[in-house]
Amino acid sequence: MHGLVRAPRRIGPGRLVKMRDLGCDELGSLLTRGREIHLGQPAHAFQGALATVFYENSTRTRNSFQQAASRLGMTTLQVGREGSSIQKGETLEDTLLTLRALGAVAAAVRTPEPGALDEVPDVGMALVNAGDGWRQHPTQTLADLLAVTLAGRRIEGARLLIVGDILHSRVARSAVDGFGMLGAEVALAGPPTLVPRGLAESFGVEAVPFAEGLAWADIVMVLRLQKERMERGYLPSLREYRQRWGLTAERLRQLRDDVLVLHPGPQNRGVELDDEVIRDRRSLIHAQIACGVSMRTALLEAMLDAR
């Protein structure tokens, strides 16, 4: 077979590359199961290992997957960029086949390359996208959805404002899809260099001025501002970013009492949000992390059950 012709994209339990690989029903039952696990129900047990293949640095996502694996009774294998055969030019497919031979039955993969997992043919293991460049980070959205649900809110009809560097954000792309699939209304805000004309439209949502969005939203998702955006000239300064688009203590005081605040972490305190936000009872930042473990457990369980 010629190498350039793609393998048919597998949608469903074998592979989760982007939110829309899940049906709305699948998403709903994952959330139900994630909630059960979160509230203490034991997860199913599986033989074999979960491989975490991270071509980019990560602390929380990788640890979260490892915690999930341990709840499923699985061992873990780790591949990082440094010192691995990735640096020696091994392809992702070959790396995954090696891990399977080592006993992996599932892999969580983070790459800087959008769509990298789409290029990988069936390697006989469950594959989860743990973040591919700017494109998607579906398990983050699963965590966010559970966190909001556990806070007693319905996703359907909720108004979600995402603020920050939308252009470069896989978290935003997944959230627009995931919250949208469950019936939330989504709007975007941020500097026009990072929310260019046409971007919101391409997501099927609206871009709004930040102040207007804050007054409208039930949930505010604050994105991490990567400092390299400044170096590339998208922004004149972090100070100006905080003044115009940061969730400052002052803006927090003006939020309604029932508004929820999300942040995918890690936070830049004093840039996209102030210390007060993290401590505020409306903030779900720490709940999101805990929910990440539960949802990754539920997801891997569903994928491995289906094999």
Partner 1 sequence: MRVDVRGARLFDPASGLDRTADLLIEDGVISAIGAGLPHGDETVAADGRLVTPGLCDVHAHLREPGHTAEEDIDSGLAAALAGGFTDVCAMPDTMPPVDDPWLLRQLLARAAGKPVRLHQIAALTRGQAGQELAEMAGLQEAGAIAFSDDGHGVGRSDVMRLALQYAQAFDGLIVSHAEDPVLSGPGVMHEGKVSYRLGLPGQPRSAESSIVARDLELLRDVGGRLHVAHVSARETLALLAKGQSDGLAVSAEVTPHHLLLTDEDVAELGTLAKLNPPLRTREDRDALRAALASGLVDCIATDHAPHTAAAKREGMLHAPFGVIGLETAFASLYTELVTTGLLTLGRLVTAMTAGPRRIFGLAPAAIHEGALACLSVFDLETSWTVGPGTLRSRSSNSALLGRTLRGRAIGIITEGRWHPVDL
Binding interface with partner 1 (CB under 8 A): 2-6, 91, 112-116, 118-119, 132-136, 167, 170, 173, 196, 198-199, 201-203
Distance in Å, CB of 234 to partner 1, minimum: 12
Three-state SS string over 62-78 comes to HHHHHHHHHHCCCEEEE
Identity of the residue, 28 or 115, whose beta carbon is nearer to partner 1 in the bound complex:
115
Distance in Å, CB of 116 to partner 1, minimum: 6
Q: How does DSSP assign 8-33, residue by residue?
A: PPP-BTTEESSGGGS-HHHHHHHHHH
Distance in Å, CB of 186 to partner 1, minimum: 14
Distance in Å, CB of 72 to partner 1, minimum: 30
Sheet holding 126-132, edge to edge: 15-16, 126-132, 104-111, 49-54, 75-80
Helices (H) and strands (E) in the chain, counts: 12, 10
Whole-angstrom distance, CA of residue 208 vs CA of residue 212: 7
Identity of the residue, 55 or 210, whose beta carbon is nearer to partner 1 in the bound complex:
55
Identity of the residue, 20 or 251, whose beta carbon is nearer to partner 1 in the bound complex:
20
Distance in Å, CB of 250 to partner 1, minimum: 31
Identity of the residue, 66 or 140, whose beta carbon is nearer to partner 1 in the bound complex:
140
Identity of the residue, 119 or 240, whose beta carbon is nearer to partner 1 in the bound complex:
119
Backbone angles phi, psi at 116, to 5 degrees: -55, -35
Give Cα 218 to chain centroid, integer Å.
20
